[in-house]
């Protein structure tokens, strides 16, 4: 019997697939459908500080009430999500989410440092101070969703581990605006994730596995069973999915889950726990050297595959 169970943020989950924060979680029917299709947990759509403050307490109360209704509607864990910039606001709303019944909380930290006088060390300290302050005020497990643009990401992960982060979600996706050349305007643009985006996540989960106590979660680029399996082999406890469900429907999750079972049976694995971290980098003496060697190998292989140039016919 294949065992898909795992633990994430101290929570016992029936499987490794978690539905990440998205508009899908606005509907109770959709959340119920997620659970029916095999989702192990759901992260509610992020509450943004700017939006909640603009609408005063109305939007905040609506978010908390929706959380209560979701908790009453499903048996799987429900994870709250907040995105803010003010330390005081994060702490206060985190406490409200806890009191509303969330099983855990995800801090979606997405700060873009555009001030040229702001050092990387100061930005990193902002992150760790924020996580430390929230962790001190709430008792539910706390996950931190990170960007991968830090200069020394492994050290940032270590520092967040030290201040008490229970989980690290890798990685936040950046939605960069585009330029409209006719109206000369900057326009927002949102695109679904693509499977190739998984590679940077696999790299860092494999590097961090065994080096931090925090649970590792992969989000971004997960579109099928192959990506789920790769993430678990790298060291992820859970794998988050949204874009694939938006494109294929929530019921697609059941197919992915079944495909994971088929793959495990074919390859002789009996549990998710048995698979986790089997392709981690910790077994390599010097991961940096390993990466450089792999980089050179890829370039060499590419050069061998490149066909010779063909000159156009003369005359």
pLDDT digits (tens, 9 = 90+) for 90-109: 788 999 999 999 999 999 98
Instruction: Tell me the C-alpha distance between 243 and 221, whole Å.
Output: 8
pLDDT tier for residue 314 given thresholds of 50, 70 and 90? low
- Mean of the pLDDT values across residues 160-174? 94
Q: How many residues does the chain have?
A: 315
Q: Which is higher by pLDDT, 149 or 99? A: 99
Are the C-beta atoms of 47 and 10 separated by less than 8 Å? no
| pLDDT(2) > 80 | yes
**SS3 of residue 143 by DSSP:** strand
Give helix 252-267 / helix 225-234 axis angle, nearest 10°. 60
Contacts of residue 308, defined as CB under 8 A and 6 or more positions apart, other chains included, come to: none
**189: confidence class by pLDDT, cuts 50, 70, 90:** confident
Alpha-carbon span 26 to 72, nearest angstrom? 14
Pick the CATH number of 6-281 from 3.30.450.40, 3.20.20.70, 1.10.10.10, 3.30.565.10: 3.20.20.70
User: What is the rounded CA–CA span in Å between residue 59 and residue 95?
Assistant: 16
Mean pLDDT of 191-211: 93
The pair of three-digit structure tokens given for residue 9, joined into one six-digit string: 């943020």
pLDDT at 281: 83
d(CA 288, CA 134): 34
244-295 per-position pLDDT tens digit: 999 999 999 999 999 999 999 999 999 999 999 999 987 565 676 656 666 6
Closest Cα partner for 215 from 237, 233, 231?
Answer: 237
Instruction: Indicate the pLDDT class of residue 73, thresholds 50, 70 and 90.
Output: very high
Question: What is the C-alpha separation between 165 and 179, in angstroms, rounded?
Answer: 38
pLDDT, residue 312, reads 53
pTM (2 d.p.): 0.90
Task: Note the pLDDT of residue 309.
Answer: 52
Which band of pLDDT confidence, cut at 50, 70 and 90, is reported for residue 315? very low
């Amino acid at each position: 019997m294949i065992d898909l169970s795992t633990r994430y943020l101290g929570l016992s989950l029936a499987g490794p697939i978690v539905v990440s924060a998205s508009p899908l979680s606005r509907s109770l029917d959709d959340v119920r459908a997620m659970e029916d299709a095999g989702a192990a947990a759901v992260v509610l759509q992020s509450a943004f500080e700017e939006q909640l403050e603009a609408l005063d307490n109305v939007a905040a109360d609506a978010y908390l009430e929706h959380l209560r209704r979701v908790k009453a509607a499903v048996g799987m864990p429900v994870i709250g999500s907040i995105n803010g910039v003010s330390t005081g606001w994060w702490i206060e709303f985190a406490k409200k989410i806890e009191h509303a019944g969330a099983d855990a909380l995800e801090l979606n930290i997405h700060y873009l440092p555009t001030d040229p006088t702001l050092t990387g060390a100061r930005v990193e300290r902002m992150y760790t101070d924020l996580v430390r302050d929230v962790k001190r005020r709430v008792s539910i497990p706390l996950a931190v969703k990170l960007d991968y643009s830090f200069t020394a990401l492994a050290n940032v992960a270590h520092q967040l581990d030290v201040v008490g982060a229970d989980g690290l979600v890798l990685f936040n996706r950046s939605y960069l605006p585009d330029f409209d050349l006719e109206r000369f305007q900057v326009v927002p643009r949102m695109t679904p994730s693509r499977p190739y985006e998984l590679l940077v996540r696999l790299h860092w989960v494999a590097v961090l596995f065994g080096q931090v106590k925090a649970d590792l979660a992969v989000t971004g680029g997960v579109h099928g069973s192959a990506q789920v399996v790769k993430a678990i082999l790298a060291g992820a406890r859970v794998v988050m999915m949204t874009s694939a469900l938006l494109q294929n429907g929530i019921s697609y999750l059941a197919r992915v889950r079944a495909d994971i079972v088929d793959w495990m049976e074919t390859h002789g694995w009996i549990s998710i726990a048995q698979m986790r971290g089997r392709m981690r980098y910790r077994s390599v003496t010097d991961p940096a050297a390993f990466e450089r060697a792999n980089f050179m190998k890829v370039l060499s292989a590419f050069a061998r595959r490149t066909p010779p140039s063909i000159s156009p016919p003369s005359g």
